[in-house]
Amino acid sequence: MSGKMLIGRKAERERLEKCLQADQAQLIIVYGRRRVGKTFLINRYFDGRFDFKLTGAYAEPRETQLRYFSAELNRQTGEEKTAPKDWIEAFQQLREYLSSLPNEEKHVVFFDEMPWMDTQRSGFLSAFEWFWNDWGCTQDNLIFIVCGSATSWMVENIAENKGGLFNRQTCRLYLQPFTLRETELYLQARGIEWSRRDIAECYMILGGIPYYLSLLDEGLSFNANIDNLFFRKRAELWDEFDHLYKTLFSNSEQYIKIVEQLSKKRMGLTRSEIVQQTKLPANGALSKILNDLSDSGFVRKYSFYGKKSKETLYQLSDYYTLFYYRFIKGGFGKDEHFWSNTLDNPARRAWEGITFEQLCKDHIPQIKQKLGIAGVLSEEFSWFGTMQGDTEESKTGAQIDLIIDRRDQVINLCEVKFSLNRFEINKDYDQNLRNKIAVFREATNCRKTIQLSMITTFGVQKNKYSGIVSNEVLLDDLFREP
């Protein structure tokens, strides 16, 4: 297949090619965050050459979905059959149609936004299970692709199905947002030539989501583009938040309650803290919501260094949502040039520093590559704690942006700084860094070798205090291919 005009997605394209060359039926699952480019990938890779393609309609009843099914089938066959009465009859018609096609050719079926087809009491999922288990899986020339943005539905009902589709899928493609490097390549392909600092800040707002990036205007500067997308009246992304969550989660209000509280806490919240802040009951429904948010890429789950797994922290990791709560909610429409007018705003500088930490956590492979430990197994954490003193007032606290705990008995304590120029360590900051190392070692009883690593935009200015830094990672290093 062509795969023309595709930026990145190399591993996914290679996997699709293997499925095409396989000599048995293929059930391919494609899922990931809404707007991440799932449909674009499949359409471009197969160049639109599908023997049958059906797209689910959001919030439409079974009867409407079946009418769309019938319209597509009639288009493919040139016939004028009436719409099937249920999904069993629909899949029977699909089976008859596919059976009429030449046996010597590969046949590709694409069901996009499949979760929207599974309306209440529709019988869709059981009918699909029957179709695949009774006939589809026996057709060596059949490639059936199912896709959906409701990642939780895709995981629960297809990828990790415990019923009729258990272990039936032959390929799972979880589509990640673009990396910084892929974002740069995409912008260059669009004729947008920005500095890497601007690209990084753009990433900290749009998050490497191809649809959002496609809205950028090559004729505008970075700051003007953000004003254009978010702050002008009726801007492209002014109502994206509500649309995004409502189309992904049926009871979106509860999901929004959680992400709103997470947006207020830089390091994240534990499950018990989420219950306390949202007043949601601590039951199985809460567990499902947290898992859904994690599976969908909105929330990052990670362990607190030195604690047991029950101390899992949930951190809001979706860039668009973070930006929405920081700058959009409650303030839309007040200044159509808000972003251009906040270049020296302390609130913007504080947001840049916090969000750059998120960006680094999403580019751990690139960081490890620069540190020369790409092949070393590691776990990544954040940490804050205190060192005991003789009195309550003499206790010393510290917070560490990123910890890379390596299997080779070395720990990289990473200090992350998003600055306009080379970052300069002065006497006070030198003492602050030494304090962090001391507090961490005592509070965690760490016996491993500790290296202080600085992750900055343009590097650390060499002076009499810079020797405390064992190794450096620059913004350019985050643009490497992993």
Q: Count of alpha carbons within 13 Å of 276, Cβ hemisphere only?
A: 5
DSSP 303: P
CATH 3.40.1350 spans which residues of the chain?
363-478
Look up residue 366 and give its amino acid: Q
- Spatial distance between the Cα atoms of 200 and 184, rounded to a whole number of angstroms: 9
190-199, 316-325, 381-390: least confidently modelled range: 381-390
Beta carbons within 10 angstroms of residue 153's beta carbon: 22
Rounded to an integer, what distance in angstroms lies between the CA atom of residue 158 and that of residue 33? 16
Contacts of 477 (CB under 8 A, 6+ apart): 366, 367, 369, 370
Token pair, residue 241, equals: 């938040």
Of 469, 401, 409, 397, which is closest to residue 439 (Cα–Cα)? 397
Tell me what the mean pLDDT of segment 450-473 comes to: 96
Which fold, 363-478?
Answer: Trna Endonuclease; Chain: A, domain 1 (3.40.1350)
Is the pLDDT at 6 greater than 70, yes or no?
yes
Angle at the Cα of 357 from the Cα atoms of 322 and 205, rounded to 5 degrees = 35
- The strand order across the sheet containing 142-148 reads 52-55, 107-112, 142-148, 26-31, 171-174
Q: Could you give the residue range(s) of every CATH 3.40.50.300 domain in the chain? A: 10-174
Burial 205-225, CB ≥16 within 10 A → b, else e? bbbbbbebbeebeeeeebbeb
Q: How confident is the model at residue 4 (pLDDT cuts 50, 70, 90)?
A: low
Measured distance CA(282)–CA(285) in Å, rounded: 8
**pLDDT tens digits along 340-351:** 998 888 989 999
In the chain, ranges of CATH 1.10.10.10 domains: 241-328
Give the bridge partners for 392, in sequence order.
Answer: none
Give the confidence band of 2 by pLDDT, cuts at 50, 70, 90.
very low
Tell me if residue 281 falls in helix, strand or coil. Answer: coil
CATH 1.10.10.10 corresponds to the domain 241-328: yes
Residue 321 pLDDT exceeds 90: yes
> For 239-251, what is each residue's pLDDT tens digit?
899 889 998 888 8
- Rounded to an integer, the average pLDDT of 189-206 is 96
Phi, psi of 322 (to 5 degrees): -60, -45
Measured distance CA(451)–CA(405) in Å, rounded: 11
Token pair of 280, please?
Answer: 């949601």
Does residue 334 or residue 18 have the better pLDDT? Answer: 18
Q: Is the pLDDT of residue 305 over 90?
A: no
pLDDT greater than 60 at residue 421: yes
Kindly indicate the confidence band of residue 156, based on its pLDDT and cuts at 50, 70 and 90: confident
The CATH code for residues 10-174 is 3.40.50.300
The SS3 of residue 345 is coil
- Please tell me the predicted confidence (pLDDT) of residue 235: 87
For residue range 358-400, what is the model confidence (pLDDT) as tens digits?
Answer: 999 999 999 999 999 999 999 998 888 876 554 444 456 788 9
- Within a 10 A sphere around the Cβ of 305, how many other Cβ atoms? 21
SS (HEC) of 120-170: CCCCHHHHHHHHHHHCHHHCCCEEEEEEECCHHHHHHHHHCCCCCCCCCCC
Confidence label for 482 from pLDDT (cuts 50, 70 and 90): confident
Q: Token pair of 224, please? A: 């003007």
Instruction: Reply yes or no on whether the pLDDT at 433 is more than 60.
Output: yes
User: Is the CA virtual torsion 237, 239, 240, 241 positive or negative?
Assistant: positive
Q: What is the mean pLDDT of the chain?
A: 90
Q: Which of 157-166, 211-220, 263-272, 367-376 has the lowest mean pLDDT?
A: 157-166
Query: For 22-43, what is each residue's pLDDT tens digit?
Result: 999 999 999 998 899 999 999 9
Tokens of 135: 């006939």
Residue 164 has pLDDT above 80, yes or no: no
pLDDT at 332 over 80: no
**pLDDT category of residue 309 using cuts at 50, 70 and 90:** low
475 — phi, psi (to 5°)? -55, -40
Q: pLDDT grade, residue 56 (50/70/90)?
A: very high
Given a cut of 80, is residue 151 above it in pLDDT?
Answer: yes
- pLDDT tens per residue across span 70-115: 999 999 999 888 999 999 999 999 999 999 999 999 999 999 999 9
Give how far Cα 175 sits from Cα of 46, 352, 470, Å.
17, 26, 35
Q: Which of 323, 345, 302, 343 is nearest to 203 (CA)?
A: 323
